[in-house]
Amino acid sequence: MSRATVNHAMRYLLPNHPEPITGHDFRATASTYLHEMGWRDEVIEIQLAHKDKNQTRAAYNHAKYLPERREMMQAWSDWLEAIEAGSVAEKDPRLVA
């Protein structure tokens, strides 16, 4: 799926939002909050599929940090559910319609 597809979907889902929201905004939000939650940089970067500069190493590290990544994604899910339930006050203002 292309970047344009995701961005078009966001415009379709939030047609009256005061400023455009892109797929990258979600990645930036995730990266920011996961870092603030204390997760390790290398685990976040791999989860967000940021490419390793070493192409050979990048081709073989799909499972790197997998247990920690699973734990991190559960913590992320729990945080999002807490926002939805109203028990977390802090939200990214760009993602609140």
Instruction: Indicate the DSSP class of residue 35.
Output: H
**DSSP structure class, residue 95:** G
* Alpha carbon distance 48, 37 (integer Å): 16
- Determine the pLDDT at residue 58: 63
Q: What is the pTM of this model?
A: 0.70
Helix 3-13 and helix 23-36: axis angle, to 10°? Answer: 90
Give tens-digit pLDDT for 17-66. Answer: 888 888 888 889 899 999 999 999 989 988 987 666 666 666 666 678 89
Q: What's the chain's length in residues?
A: 97
| Per-residue pLDDT at 34 | 93
Residue 93 has pLDDT above 50, yes or no: no
Place of tokens 């961005």: 7
Q: Which tokens in the block code for residue 58?
A: 């990048």
Q: Check residue 56 and give its pLDDT.
A: 65
